[in-house]
Amino acid sequence: MIFGKKKINWKVPKGVEPTEFDRKILNFQNRGFLVPKNELVLNEEQIEGIRRSGVVNTGVLDAVAAAIRPGMTTQEIDDIVYQYTIDHGAIPACLNYEGFPKSVCVSRNEVVCHGIPSTTEVLKEGDIVNVDCTTILDGYFADASRMFIIGETTPEKKRLVDVAKECLDLAISICKPFTFVGDFGNAIEKHAKANGYSVVRELCGHGVGLKFHTEPEVCHYGKKMSGMLLVPGMVFTIEPMINMGVRNVTFDKKDGWTVRTADLLPSAQWEHTFVMREDGLEILTY
Which ranges of 175-277 does DSSP label H, i.e. alpha helix? 181-194
pLDDT recorded at residue 286: 87
Cβ-in-10-Å burial (0-12, 13-18, 19+) of 19 comes to exposed
The structural architecture, per CATH, of the domain 36-283 is: Alpha-Beta Complex (3.90)
pLDDT recorded at residue 6: 64
pLDDT recorded at residue 1: 40
Residue 245 has pLDDT above 90, yes or no: yes
Give how far the C-alpha of residue 253 lies from the chain's centroid of Cα atoms, to the nearest Å: 24
Percent of the chain predicted with pLDDT > 70: 98
Helices and strands (H, E) in the chain, number of each type: 5, 17
- pLDDT digits over 2-23, tens only? 444 568 999 999 999 999 999 9
- pLDDT digits over 40-49, tens only? 999 999 999 9
Q: Could you state, in order of their start, the residue ranges of all structural domains in the chain? A: 36-283
pLDDT recorded at residue 7: 85
- pLDDT digits over 191-233, tens only? 999 999 999 999 999 999 999 999 999 999 999 999 999 999 9
pLDDT recorded at residue 2: 41
Residue 157 has pLDDT above 90, yes or no: yes
Distance CA(95)–CA(261), nearest Å, equals 24
- Among residues 97, 37, 56, 6, the alpha carbon closest in space to that of 231 is found at 37
